[in-house]
Structure 1
Amino acid sequence: MLLSTTPSTTPSTKSSKTTSSTTSLGTTTASTTPSTTSSTTPSTAPNKSSSTTPSTSPSTSPSTTSASGSMATVYVVLAHLAKSTTIQEHNEGESCVPTGEILVTQLSLSSLGIATILMVFMGDTGSGLLVTFTLGVAQAVQWSSFYCLTTSGFAMASATSQLAAFAVRVPYLQQGPFGADTSSFIIVASLVMYFLTLPRMNSMPLWSRIILMMVPLLPRSMTVAIPQTWARKSHPIELLHLEGRRQYDDMVSRQSKTVEEAITEYHRRYFRAPPTGFDSWAQLALDNDMLLIDEFDGMTKAFEPYQQVDPTVLAKILERVLDMDLDDLVIVKIENSKITSSSDRFWNYHGEYLHDWLAKPLYKELLPNLTIILNTFDEPKVVIDSKYAQPTLDQASNIQFTNFGKTHPWSRMTLNCPGASPVSEVAEHIAVEFVADLTQTQDVCQHREYEKLHGFFNTPGNLNLVDLPVPLFSQARPSTFHDLIDDYDEEKGFPWDQKRTSLYWRGSTTGGYNTIENWQEMHRQRLVLSTIPQNGPYNITLLEQKTTRSSWNPYRTISTPKLQGLFETSISEVVQCDEEACDELKAALPPEGSQPDSASYHHKYVLDMDGNGFSGRYYRILRSRSAVIKQTLLKEWHDDWLVPWYHFIPLSMQGSEVWEMMRFFSTDEGDEIGAAIAESSSRWTETNLRKVDIELVTLRLILEYGALFDRKQ
């Protein structure tokens, strides 16, 4: 799902080429093209889900918080002034209005003075001054009404009106199934109590007494209404960041604190008993302060297709793969805590790492005897055909891997998608979309436009597929593949304020096999073509806000040199292409050679994109104190632990929102959020990517894998 901001009117656009962008919300992303060509018409998909776009108008914002802080100061000072103000005495029955007017005037003028001082010395805006002054006047009127009521023989009115105000002011009374009824009952009871004690003779008219009864509600009503009316409307990225922070805090707070809780939570999530040794694993995780002990949904659910296969058939499948001796697969056997491998390549891949922790007695006691298949290539391999979901022994004996490299295997990669998967349609309106639901965005079946937008689906350079349930481990996979997900492990950068406000990416033209027909569609080349400064200016879509209280609306414009200066994107090397495509690529995107890893540390924002498979640089740049902008269709083991917009910034596959993204991050508000995301990601690597965390993740993975062959449990 993508959070979309669209205008109320539909401008007319012309295009020479249509680029699709399907979302579950039926919204679109405007594409980015050099201004020398006509702008690209975005596309949309019909709404296939019940999800809704988050609101762009939160109940609170930085300006609301500022107003609340200002009002706290105003209330304290006004209370002191009210206490020290000399009020003329009057006899019972005489009107208190003149004296009340004097008190209101004195306190209101004091409120204005305080608000002005706050604006000058504390940076409040003009609208903040108006909010502070208005609430100060409301408070002055309230206190003056108390004076009138109590000095005119209406002390009960003051007391009961405060009780009514309490019903509106206290949040917990508004919650629950009877919240509204509870508040209403207290208010009505207050009115009844007042009229039962009403003096029979008094010069004050009934209507004026009723108005005075309602005055104590005024300041509370004003503080509720003013933020919605006068507060600054937050940018969509601000809302997404706040939601990401809330999600992560909630996730951390609900983790199991005991082994028993972890076992119960496993049953609740997966509707099955945990694997043998899980209780010991959970105790190890607790003893080593593993932060997210319960969050393994992606890894654990990947085993579900294999749990439908008879263990005898799975063993036959492994035996058959062993006999095939494929170069891109490594067979690893763990027997009595000793490890052997079918290839020397394994020792460069995982061997030394596994040996280090296999030597630890606590782990050795838990390891089952088993055979593991490791995929050492970037591309995943398993797309289970539904007709082979529960294969026979004969079918298991006839496993074949088919090479689809340098072809267009979209239909084979998506053979399990429903026949009515969404198809992108041409749209005539503009929008700026930000990824609000990463799971939906990565659902290949929901986005048929990925056939063109991602090199792996367009024309993979190398791809060997099998359609039977072969339980092999890869390091990442798209949503339509069934590889089991293995973990992998990868220096601190500079402090945030020493970095440049710019987005950095440099890489080679991997991701797919480039031909003269398709190289401009490949995801890496397409993003560099649409952001590289020397190719500008570009036709882009940004968001604008007419006033701080108005909504954010998209508009078409031309990129300025200042905006283009926020990007440092380039190609390091041209590879994986036929001769004609290589020549054209070099002419359009002259390769600039490789740079050391530390080159990215000088930039506040670092882009990370898929290559032929997962990105091996991801953990490094998460550690680097830069904010990572991540564009990927691949699922990895850490997906349950990293929260979009809190630990990283997700970028859609079309990627045209990157211009508004960087424009916002170049502002003071955006820089503050960027710094917070960079800090969160760096802290995440320190608390969730320790050596012991990787060891425990690997151990749990092996226990889950071993359970496939041990159904007696």
Structure 2
Amino acid sequence: MHNPRCDSFAAAVDPLVGAAGAAALCAVLVQRLPTTTTSSSNQSGEVASEVVCWALLGAAKRWDLLGFGAAGSGASLPGAPATSSSSGGGVGGGAKRPRPGWSLWAVAAAVAAACCYRAEVGMLWSVPALTPLLLAADKQLRPELRTWKALELPALFYLFGTVSGTAIVGLLVVLALPGWTIWELALSTLPVAALCAAYAAFIPRTVESRFLPYLDVDEDILQLSHRVVVISVAALSVQIISFGVPGLIDLAVPTILLGLAKASAWYFTIQTARSTSWCIAGAIGAFALVASRDPFIQLSESQAISPVLASTLALGQFVAILPRQLRGRPILWALILISLGPYLANYMAITVAESSVVRLQEHPVETLIRNAQADFEQMLQRQSKTYPDAVHEYQRRYGVEPPPGFQAWYEFAAANQSPIIDDFDTIYLSVSPFWSISGREMLQIIDDAHNTPDIDLWLCSFSGDTAETRCTHPRRGSDRHIGDLFNTLLGDVRGVLPNAKFLVNHLDEPRVLIPPASLKKNPREFKVSDLSERPTWKAVTKYCGLQAQQLRDLSPYTDTEGQRPAVDTHGLPLVTNRSTVLNLCQHPEYAGTHGLFQAPPSFRLIEGRVPVLSTGRPSTMSDILFPAPAYLVEPEFRYNASADIPWSQKANHLYWAGSTTGAVSSTHNSWRHFHRQRFISLAQNLDPPAEGHTYLREVPPSSSSSSSPSSSPPSSTTTNHTPSITPIHSRFLNSRLYDVHPTRIFQCSHPLPCREQASHFRHIAWQDRDAALRARLVFDLDGNGISGRFHKLLASGSLVLKQTLLREWHDDRLVPWAHYIPVSVGTMAEVPELVQWFLESDRGKGKAREVAEGGKEWFARAMREVDVKIYLWRLMLELARVVDEGREALAEVVVE
């Protein structure tokens, strides 16, 4: 049926305006489609879509489906030569042309090269330079062209009608684009230069060019499409050979849609350029690039608003190229909604989220902080004040006498004002399994282990007379600063400590799994298994059913968390009992959430009673914990006070930047389940839970008894006159509160997983080692082993959110929620609420600063270099007793 509204619209809007608007919309779609899918085949899909695009364009030309070469509205730039192949005069106006030959292949290669660059490297950040370059080429090839000087206001002519003016516009657009680096910008000039040459080849000209052949886009599009398809198929074949066959099911629909969008963008751009200038291709590209930026992922308000402003400028340049007399030309300004609409939606989402933060009721985090601070004060109060008290407390805790040299240790600790005298349970619980073996047998086990091929252990000998530690390894030359640590801290205690021999783990990962006493046969026997890059969960949890193994990691002296009433977390997985959270036997889901249990880079498991010092271990393993040398020796991990800034000047966001360590990605496992990759995905909102992120909100008394479809019933016990707290679910994550990026993507056994991650994550270049000190919230999590940054972050005065499955030497003296914020290892579903409450509510900001300052002050008081020395000294006393040749085997001490 005839629709008069269509006639009225067609009468009001010139076909050329419609083509220009369609070209811009399709170009934006081309920019957006690859980012709307989290498919791991994005790179192959980009190249495959180019095949689809040019196959469609070739088919359209062959069967004349879209009217290539059809006349436009008749409006064109003053002085422009006719572009139809039927017109006469000029090189581009219908004179007999030489066969394109090599020029078609060159243009096809340029188009395919730009596509491959987008697939393998990323954005063409220098696309805004196309407009001034094409304008310069246009003026050179058509000197009689009067551009659009008479078509616009004189005040705008310089910006939109001259090479220098369009170059300034291009520069402003580039500066407004968030996320690029100088290197990325410079590198992108190569494919953009190729595209510029391709577009310039389409420019009708009245002046011949020796170096720039002319292609009639209407006449040559079919041959060009064949060549682009051939080159793109070749590139796709190289991708498949190098990285494997992508998932065809996941790839098919996005590839077809992207190819269709590309073909549409080319078609409408050609239709528009034929009646104007090929400069419009650059203007469309610049507008699409900047208008398609997603405000929901930007780190700051300036990064979100600047693309909106720049897209307005780019749109003005785009509109200015079109002849002024075209009907409906002003309607193109509606395209600004492409960037303005999402920005306004993001602004409203942030406003609503900020206004909904829990403010009146006590947040469960406040309860956890208050309880932790009380536990911390209790810990300080119970420390022994005299040497007899310390001896008595040692006997009470462990049921044995202190080791020889204990008095000298106590006197040194007291003289150096150590706030911790008694809480060294980590040391004793680490060495107690070896009491059932005599000192002479222990020395033999140490020698046997060191001589085992490929066990990768350092044999260290401490001389009591010289206080010197020497470490040897069968094949390695660098001991990763192990000897430096012992010599730096204990080198001045000559004649005080006894001789000792001990083994130190060279690897990041833990090593020792001790079978329960009920299973042991010959105590000197041990077995070494290489589980590198293989699942380890079954191996490290094989003794979970035996109670003795589970108790080794629990300290009955300091675990006051379980003695308090349960805290109502309203469904958030807040860490209310750290011992329970760290217990692998109670959390089988950890098998698929932490890289250590999926594909660790190096995991040589020692099953037996072998005393090995390591920097960290999970609950089921029995490595003896000692301070990581990185904390004291390596400059990268030492706190630099001169690089720190006051809390008021720190950025109001959560910061993390680092490498994708933790496990080895391969084609046989899923990197999406590794702990670092899961955190990055969460912070970048790449794979939000199906039900959305969980936040806590206050519900007014009148509505507290009812719940919305998207929320759970109120779980707090409040009166009818006060608001209640209830969880809600939302897919929104305020990107302004997160500065989280991988800086190095590696540890891949095959190129494909690293390529997938590079496409999936928003990654950045190397960052300054002290960049984290400039943020109020900092995240710290395990890598292949412990994180060497933890001490530095704790000392900085920033609030540390810490996720780990590994125990360390300092666990006896650091109290979660009093000195740092513990984060669950499973879903990490509490992180969005923690970050929002700490950064957006007044009470949360106050508590964040309070805990941050508490951690900083406690670090300066209890984790000084002398405190590490005190710990290491006491560890050496216990080790020396274990390997004392005169010590007989004892029944294993079990503390009740």
Question: Do these two structures clear the TM 0.5 threshold for a shared fold by scoring above it?
Answer: yes
- The one of 832, 835, 851 aligned to 1:659: 832
State which of 500, 510, 521 in structure 2 corresponds to 1:380.
Answer: 510
Q: Distance in 2 between matches of 1:507 and 1:530?
A: 15
CA distance in 1, matches of 2:517, 2:376: 39
> Which runs of structure 2 are paired with 1:265-344 in the superposition (5 Å)?
265-324=393-452, 326=454, 328-335=456-463, 336-337=465-466, 338-343=468-473
Q: CA deviation at 1:365?
A: 2.5
CA distance in 1, matches of 2:591, 2:686: 29
The structural deviation recorded for 1:419 is 7.5
Letter in 1 for 2:845: D
Q: Find the counterpart in structure 2 of residue 105 from structure 1.
A: none
TM-superposed CA distance for 1:468, in Å, is 0.8
Give the structure 1 partner of residue 529 of structure 2.
402
CA contact (8 A) 2:479 2:506 kept: no
Matched, 1:499 2:673: no
Provide the residue aligned with 2:697 in structure 1.
544
1:266–1:294 Cα contact (<8 Å) kept: yes
Shift of 1:415: 1.2
SS in 2 for 1:353: helix
1:524 to 665, 676, 686: 676
2:76 matched to which residue of 1?
A: none
Tell me if 1:431 matches 2:571.
yes
Summarize the alignment of residues 345-494 of structure 1 with structure 2, pairs less than 5 Å apart. 345=477, 348-360=480-492, 363-386=493-516, 390-392=520-522, 396=524, 399-418=526-545, 431-488=571-628, 489-490=631-632, 491-492=640-641, 493-494=644-645
The question of whether the paired residues in 2 share the 8 Å contact of 1:333 and 1:341 is answered with yes
What residue number does 1:566 align with? Answer: 737
Q: Which structure ranks higher in relative contact order (CA pairs < 8 Å, sequence separation ≥ 6)?
A: 1
Q: Structure 1: which 5+ runs fail to align?
A: 1-33, 38-230, 423-428
| Structure 1 position 232, deviation (Å) | 4.8
Give me the whole-angstrom Cα distance separating, in 2, the residues matched to 1:437 and 1:658: 17
Q: Which residue of 2 aligns with 1:116?
A: none
> Do structure 1's residue 678 and structure 2's residue 852 form an aligned pair?
yes
Shift of 1:289: 0.5
Deviation at 1:536, TM superposition (A): 7.6
What is the aligned partner in structure 2 of residue 7 from structure 1? none
Q: Taking structure 1 as reference, are residues 325 and 341 closer, same or farther at Cα in structure 2, changes over 3 Å only?
A: farther
User: Which range moves more in the overlay, 512-521 or 349-358?
Assistant: 349-358
Q: Is the 8 A contact 2:455 2:604 kept in 1?
A: no
What is the alpha-carbon distance in structure 1 between the residues aligned to residue 687 and residue 543 of structure 2?
Answer: 41
Query: Larger deviation: 597-606 or 483-492?
Result: 483-492
1:686 alignment partner, SS class: helix
| Structure 1 residue 389 displacement after superposition | 6.3
Report the residue type matching 2:502 in the other structure.
I
Per-residue CA deviation, residues 365-391 of structure 1 (Å, 9 max, x unaligned), is 221112111112100110112368655
Is the 8 Å Cα contact of residues 516 and 546 (structure 2) preserved in structure 1? no
Separation in structure 2 between the aligned mates of residue 364 and residue 310 of structure 1, nearest angstrom: 26
The equivalences for 1:611-690 within 5 A come to 611-653=783-825, 654-666=827-839, 667-690=841-864
When residues 352 and 459 of structure 1 are mapped into structure 2, their CA distance, relative to the original with a 3 A threshold, is closer
CA distance in 2, matches of 1:461, 1:291: 38
CA distance in 2, matches of 1:566, 1:454: 25
Secondary structure of the residue aligned to 2:461 is strand
Higher Cα Rg, which structure: 2
| Paired amino acid for 1:502 | H
**SS at 1:465's partner residue?**
strand
> Unmatched 5+ residue regions in structure 2?
1-34, 39-358, 551-568, 633-639, 701-720, 891-896
The answer on whether the counterparts of 1:544 and 1:552 sit within 8 Å (CA) in structure 2 is yes
Q: Structure 1 residue 321: deviation in Å?
A: 1.8
Taking the aligned partners of 1:574 and 1:275, their CA distance within structure 2 comes to 47
In the superposition, the TM-score normalised over structure 2's length comes to 0.50
**Aligned-partner Cα distance in 2 for 1:287–1:456:** 41
Q: Which residue of 1 aligns with 2:877?
A: 703
Task: Kindly state the Cα deviation for residue 244 of structure 1 after the two structures are TM-superposed.
Answer: 1.1
Conserved in 1, the CA contact under 8 Å of 2:455 and 2:528? no
Shift of 1:345: 4.3
Residue pairs, 1:169-180, within 5 angstroms: none
SS of 1:697 mapped into structure 2: helix
Check the 8 A contact 1:624/1:682 in 2, yes or no.
Answer: yes
After superposition, where does 1:70-149 map in structure 2 within 5 Å?
none
Retained in 2: the 8 A contact 1:533–1:568? no
Question: Is the contact between residue 389 and residue 468 of structure 1 (CA under 8 Å) also seen in structure 2?
Answer: no
Cα displacement (A) at 1:327:
6.8
CA distance in 1 between partners of 2:872 and 2:724 (Å):
47
Question: Partner of 1:324: helix, strand, or coil?
Answer: coil
The alpha-carbon distance between structure 1 residues 534 and 452, as it changes in their structure 2 partners (threshold 3 A), is closer
**2-side partners of 1:617 and 1:254: how far apart?**
30
RMSD over aligned Cα, in angstroms?
2.7
Q: Which amino acid aligns with 2:756?
A: E
Calculate the TM-score normalised by the size of structure 1. Answer: 0.63
Paired letter, 1:505: W
* Residues 617-643 of structure 1: CA deviation (Å, up to 9, x unaligned): 111111111000000000001001110
AA of the residue aligned to 1:373: L
Output one character per residue of 1:524-569: Cα deviation in whole Å (capped at 9) or x when no partner: 1011112216778992110011249333211112315xx2211111
SS at match of 1:530: helix
